[in-house]
C-alpha cells in the first residue's frame, strides 16, 4: 500500500532534480550577460578614460653629483705591470622627491551613463583644485651622497600622477608661489609613475659644494586647477604630511573604498548626491617612502600606490547579480511548489500526472528568464512585478483546471504570490537575507506540520488504492 506513495514521491523528487537543468541554462545566460556588461565597461573605458587615480603632487629636484674617487689601475713597466692608485672624476645623476607639507584636494562633479545597446557604463567628470605648500630645504637630501661631492641642481618640476591622461577635461593650471605655470605631458618619474603631467619651475636650490653656507628652509604655496573624467571609480594616493580630500558628486550611490575611509561625521549620502571628507596624516601611510624607493629603483609603483582611498560610483541594483541571487532560490521554489502539489493530491484525493508537475516546474523556471530579460529594459522592481504577475496568473489559470476547482487554483496562485514576495524581500534585504530565509523555511515547515498534524497517511494511501 505504501509502495505507490513511495514511487510518486521518488518521481516528484526526480522531477525537481531534472528541472535543475533549465535553471542551470538560465544561470549560464545570466553569467554571459554579466560578462558582456563587464566587457562593455572595459570597451568604453578604452575609448574614453578608465578608472582614475590621482597621485601627488610631488616636487622633483633633479641633480648632478660630481665627486672624485680612487681606483686601482695596471700600469705597464719593464718586465710586466704594476698596480697603481689613481684618482678620477665621477658624475652621477639622480632626483630628490619632496612631498607636500600640506595638501588639500577639493573636487565635485556629475555622473552620466554611457550606453552601448542594452549595456552601460558609469562615467563621471570632476572639477576642483589641489592646493597646499611645500617646504624646500636649503640642502635637500641626496641619495648616496659622496663625501666631498659637488651637487649641481637642475631645473625642478612639479609632477602629478594621473592614471589615464586622456580624461583631462581642460588644460590644468598651476599657480606656484603666486606665478602661473602650464603643464606638459608626462609625470617624469620613470616606471614608477609612467602617466601624468608635470610643470617646469624656476630654480629652487643653488649649487652645493662642501664649503657652501646653509640657509633655512623655504615655504612655497601652490594651487592646481584640474578637471578630469573617468569611468566608475576615482582614487587618490595621499603623500603629504597632512592630506585633506573633499569629494562631492550628484550620484546618490557611492561605495567608499581603499585603505582609508572618510570621516564619519563628514559623510553625507542623500537622493541629491553625496559628499565626504578624508583626513590622512603622513604618520598613517608609507606611500611617500615607498614611492621614493620605486623611483630610485626605476620600477613600477608597488606598495605606495596600494595605499589609496576613493569612491566607486555604483548602480543601486545590478540586474545580473540580482538575477543570479534569485536563481539560487530556484530549486527551493520548485521543491516547495511540488510539495504543496503533493499535499493537495493527498488531502483532496486528486490524481495529478507527473507531466502536470513538469509543466508547473517549467513555468517557475521561465519566471527567472522573464525576470532577466525584462530587467534589461525596465527597472528591476518593475521587471520582478511583471514576471511575477505573468507566472502567478498562468499558474492560477492552469491549476484551477488541474485541481478541479477555481478556488484551489487561486489558493495555489496566492501561495506562489507569497513565495515570490518573500523572494523579493530576500533580494532587496541582503544584510538580513539569511535571517529572512531561515524564518521563511521554518514558517513553511511549521505550517505544513500544523495542517497535516491529524492526517492518517496510511488511510490516505488506502483510499488511493
> Mean pLDDT, 10 residues at a time, over the chain (465 residues)?
63 74 80 80 77 89 78 72 74 84 92 77 89 86 70 87 87 90 88 88 68 68 91 89 92 87 87 89 87 84 80 79 78 76 68 76 83 82 86 82 76 80 74 69 74 63 51
Q: Is 218 helix (H, G, I), strand (E, B) or coil?
A: strand
CB atoms within 10 A of CB 429: 11
Cα 55 to Cα 300: distance, rounded to the nearest angstrom: 14
Helices 2-18 and 457-464, axial angle in degrees (round to 10)? 90
Query: CA–CA separation, 412 vs 169, rounded Å?
Result: 59
What is the model's pLDDT at position 59? 92
Q: Which three cell numbers stand for residue 39?
A: 566587457
Residue linked to cell 558582456: 36
Query: What pLDDT score was predicted for residue 224?
Result: 93
Q: What pLDDT was estimated at residue 1?
A: 43
C-alpha cell at 420: 515570490
pLDDT digits (tens, 9 = 90+) for 95-130: 888 999 999 999 998 888 777 777 777 888 899 999
Give the position of cell 532534480: 17
Taking each helix axis from N to C end, the angle separating 406-428 and 319-327, rounded to the nearest 10 degrees, works out to 130
Instruction: Specify the pLDDT at position 349.
Output: 63
> Could you tell me how many residues make up the chain?
465
Asked if 105 and 54 count as a contact pair (C-beta separation under 8 A), the reply is: yes
Report the chain's C-alpha Rg in angstroms: 35
pTM: 0.72
Q: What is the pLDDT of residue 465?
A: 46
- Strand segments, DSSP code E, in 209-359 are 218-231, 233-237, 242-249, 254-258, 268-270, 273-281, 309-313
Q: How many CB atoms lie within 10 A of CB 311?
A: 23
Give the up-direction half-sphere exposure of residue 302: CA atoms within 13 A in the CB hemisphere: 11
User: What 3-state class would DSSP assign to 409?
Assistant: helix
For residues 413 and 440, what is the distance between their CA atoms, to the nearest angstrom? Answer: 18
Distance CA 95, CA 296 (A): 8
Take residue 404 and report the three cell numbers written for it.
478541479
Condensed to tens digits (0 to 9), the pLDDT of residues 333-364 reads 777 777 777 777 666 666 777 777 778 778 88
Alpha-carbon span 238 to 9, nearest angstrom: 64
- Alpha helical stretches, state H, 377-432: 380-402, 406-428
Residue 412 in grid coordinates: 495555489
Which pLDDT score, from 0 to 100, does residue 247 have? 92
User: Given this model, what pLDDT does residue 347 score?
Assistant: 65
Q: Specify the pLDDT at position 246.
A: 93
pLDDT at 206: 61
Place of cell 649649487: 207
If you search the block for the grid coordinates 510539495, which residue do you land on? 339
- pLDDT, position 346: 67
**Secondary structure class of 298 (helix, strand, coil):** coil
Task: Compute CA 53 distance to the chain's CA centroid, rounded to the nearest angstrom.
Answer: 13
* Residue 433 DSSP SS3: helix
Amino acid at each position: 500500500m505504501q509502495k505507490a506513495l513511495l514511487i510518486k514521491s521518488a518521481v516528484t523528487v526526480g522531477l525537481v532534480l531534472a528541472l535543475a537543468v533549465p535553471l542551470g541554462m538560465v544561470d549560464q545566460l545570466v553569467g554571459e550577460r554579466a560578462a558582456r556588461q563587464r566587457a562593455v565597461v572595459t570597451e568604453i573605458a578604452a575609448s574614453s578614460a578608465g578608472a582614475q587615480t590621482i597621485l601627488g603632487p610631488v616636487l622633483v629636484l633633479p641633480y648632478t653629483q660630481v665627486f672624485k674617487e680612487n681606483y686601482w689601475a695596471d700600469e705597464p713597466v719593464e718586465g710586466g705591470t704594476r698596480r697603481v692608485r689613481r684618482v678620477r672624476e665621477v658624475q652621477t645623476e639622480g632626483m630628490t622627491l619632496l612631498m607636500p607639507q600640506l595638501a588639500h584636494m577639493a573636487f565635485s562633479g556629475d555622473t552620466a551613463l554611457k550606453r552601448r545597446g542594452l549595456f552601460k557604463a558609469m562615467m563621471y567628470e570632476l572639477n576642483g583644485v589641489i592646493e597646499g605648500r611645500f617646504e624646500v630645504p636649503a640642502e635637500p637630501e641626496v641619495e648616496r651622497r659622496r663625501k666631498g661631492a659637488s651637487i649641481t641642481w637642475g631645473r625642478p618640476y612639479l609632477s602629478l600622477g594621473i592614471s589615464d591622461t586622456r580624461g583631462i577635461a581642460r588644460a590644468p593650471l598651476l599657480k606656484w608661489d603666486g606665478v602661473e605655470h602650464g603643464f606638459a605631458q608626462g609625470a617624469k618619474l620613470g616606471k614608477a609613475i609612467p602617466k601624468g603631467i608635470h610643470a617646469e619651475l624656476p630654480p629652487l636650490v643653488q649649487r652645493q659644494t662642501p664649503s657652501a653656507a646653509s640657509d633655512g628652509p623655504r615655504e612655497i604655496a601652490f594651487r592646481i586647477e584640474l578637471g578630469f573624467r573617468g569611468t566608475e571609480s576615482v582614487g587618490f594616493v595621499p603623500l603629504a604630511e597632512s592630506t585633506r580630500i573633499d569629494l562631492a558628486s550628484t550620484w546618490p550611490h557611492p561605495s567608499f573604498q581603499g585603505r582609508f575611509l572618510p570621516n564619519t561625521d563628514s559623510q553625507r549620502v542623500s537622493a541629491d548626491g553625496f559628499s565626504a571628507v578624508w583626513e590622512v596624516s603622513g604618520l598613517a601611510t608609507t606611500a611617500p617612502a615607498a614611492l621614493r624607493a620605486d623611483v630610485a629603483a626605476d620600477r613600477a609603483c608597488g606598495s605606495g600606490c596600494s595605499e589609496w582611498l576613493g569612491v566607486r560610483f555604483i548602480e543601486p541594483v545590478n540586474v545580473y547579480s540580482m538575477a543570479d541571487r534569485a536563481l539560487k532560490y530556484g530549486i527551493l521554489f520548485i521543491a516547495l511548489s511540488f510539495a504543496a502539489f503533493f499535499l493537495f493530491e493527498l488531502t483532496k484525493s486528486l490524481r495529478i500526472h507527473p507531466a502536470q508537475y513538469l509543466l508547473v516546474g517549467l513555468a517557475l523556471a521561465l519566471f527567472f528568464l522573464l525576470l532577466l530579460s525584462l530587467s534589461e529594459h525596465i527597472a528591476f522592481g518593475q521587471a520582478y512585478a511583471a514576471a511575477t504577475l505573468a507566472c502567478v496568473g498562468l499558474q492560477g489559470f492552469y491549476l484551477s483546471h488541474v485541481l478541479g476547482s477555481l478556488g484551489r487554483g487561486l489558493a495555489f496562485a496566492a501561495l506562489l504570490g507569497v513565495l515570490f514576495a518573500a523572494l523579493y524581500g530576500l533580494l532587496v534585504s541582503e544584510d538580513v537575507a539569511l535571517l529572512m530565509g531561515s524564518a521563511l523555511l521554518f514558517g513553511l515547515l511549521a505550517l505544513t506540520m500544523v495542517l497535516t498534524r491529524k492526517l492518517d497517511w496510511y488511510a490516505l494511501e488506502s483510499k488511493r488504492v
